[in-house]
Each structure stands twice: as C-alpha cells, then as structure tokens.
Amino acid sequence: MAAGLALLGVPVWILTRPAPSAPPPASAPIEPEKTAIYEVLLTASAPARLAVRAANQPTVESAGTATSLTACFTMNAAEPEDLAVFGNFDPAAGNSALRVEVRLAGRTLADATFWGTGLVEDVIAIPKP
C-alpha cells in the first residue's frame, strides 16, 4: 500500500503522520474534578424563540418557537459563569415572562423571572457553592 502510494508520488509520511493537535484554548482548561453540570430550564409565558448562553460555550437555542428549553452546561464548580438568557416573543403577545431556573444535582441554585415585550433578555448569576 505504502509502496503503491509512493509510486503515485504521494509522500507516505503525509498520510501516516499523527493529526496535529488542536491549539490550546485561550482560557486555562478546567480540571475535570472541578467541574459540575448545571441544568438550565427556560419557561416562557407564550411561544418564543428561546436561547441560553454561557461564556466559552455554544449557545443553546430552541428549534423554533417554544414555551420551554432545557440546556446543560459543564462549568467550573468553584466559579460558574453567568448565563445570558433570551426569549424572543411576538410583540403582539404584550407583556411576556421568561422564567429561568438553574439546578445542580436536582437542587435549585437560581430562579428568576424576566418581563418585557418582544425581546426579553437578561443575565442570571449562579451563586458560588
């Protein structure tokens, strides 16, 4: 096989070298034993496009309009990131509510409700353990 590729002019070492490792992330990696999985539950008073975001992690969004969204984030247990939450309601729905609950191992750590018309967005801080 290698001889065949060599005959075709493909340097074998290109195909057999180990794949380059990804560059290290900008922030120091979190040691696995210091992380925790935070469950975030968004509940909307009317159908809305829902989203939740934590720093350095992909945004979790509802597929379309929905009245609830659940997301899980693995974060530093000693200092979890704040969560930005968004509920994009139909302005015709009038004053709308977006409730956010953050749970760790079934225990509620934060629970807040944000109100507004159209785009309801805010930040929820997770208390340190």
Which residues of the shown chain bind other proteins in the complex (CB under 8 A)? 26-28, 53-56, 76, 79, 81-84, 121-123
Take residue 107 and report the two structure tokens written for it: 């225990």
**Shortest separation between residue 70's beta carbon and other proteins, angstroms:** 19
Which CB atom, from 56 or from 68, has the smaller least distance to other proteins? 56
**Shortest separation between residue 56's beta carbon and other proteins, angstroms:** 5
For 71-110, b/e burial (b = at least 16 CB within 10 A) is: bebebebeebbebebbbbbeeeeeebebbbbbbbeeeebb
Contacts of 94 (CB under 8 A, 6+ apart): 117
Which CB atom, from 11 or from 113, has the smaller least distance to other proteins? 113
Q: Identify whether the C-beta of residue 53 lies closer than 8 Å to the C-beta of residue 40.
A: no
**Shortest separation between residue 65's beta carbon and other proteins, angstroms:** 22
**Shortest separation between residue 123's beta carbon and other proteins, angstroms:** 4
Which CB atom, from 6 or from 128, has the smaller least distance to other proteins? 128
Which CB atom, from 26 or from 92, has the smaller least distance to other proteins? 26
